[in-house]
Amino acid sequence: MTTATNLYSTTAVSNSGSVRVDGTADLPVAAPTELGGPGGGWNSEQLYAASLATCLHQSIVLIASSAGDDTSDCAVSAGVTLRHEGAEKYDVDARLKVELPNVPEQRRQALVDLAVSHAPLIGGWPVTVA
């Protein structure tokens, strides 16, 4: 039996040409031209990269603010690559980079490590601290 407390839930429904988030926000979606699609919309790799960057950024800001660190110029970038091996095997690779110019250099890595441990979407992807 779990004792977890639900903090937030969201629902996304994808169909031909769009994804609807929480019944209200429609985002246009399309396969990228590099994969033979029409482009002109968001694709799953872009949305995943945005989710990773946002999740880690929010975790860093939350943890840093409780320690009194200045994250006003903090930036998290996430790169996601779709890979292919054989006709039916696809996977993704993700890499993240954190910039914390207003946090003392000697504290940056520990802060990011703690934030990563609290960011549920990061799941072991490599994170570089600049």
pLDDT tens, position by position, 75-103: 999 999 999 988 789 999 999 999 999 99
- Residues near 64 by beta carbon (within 8 Å), at least 6 away in sequence: 70, 71, 74, 100, 103, 111, 115
pLDDT number for residue 106: 95
Q: How confident is the model at residue 16 (pLDDT cuts 50, 70, 90)?
A: confident
pLDDT number for residue 123: 86
Distance CA 25, CA 21 (A): 5
CB-facing half-sphere around the CA of 108: CA atoms within 13 A: 18
Task: State how far Cα 127 lies from the chain centre.
Answer: 12
Q: How confident is the model at residue 72 (pLDDT cuts 50, 70, 90)?
A: very high
Report whether pLDDT(126) > 80: yes
Q: Provide, rounded to the nearest whole percent, the portion of the chain with pLDDT above 70.
A: 99
Q: How confident is the model at residue 44 (pLDDT cuts 50, 70, 90)?
A: very high
How many CB atoms are closer than 10 A to CB 80?
A: 21
Q: What is the pTM of this model?
A: 0.90
pLDDT number for residue 25: 84
The residues with which 15 forms a beta bridge, in sequence order, are 18
Q: What is the mean pLDDT of the segment spanning 29-35?
A: 93
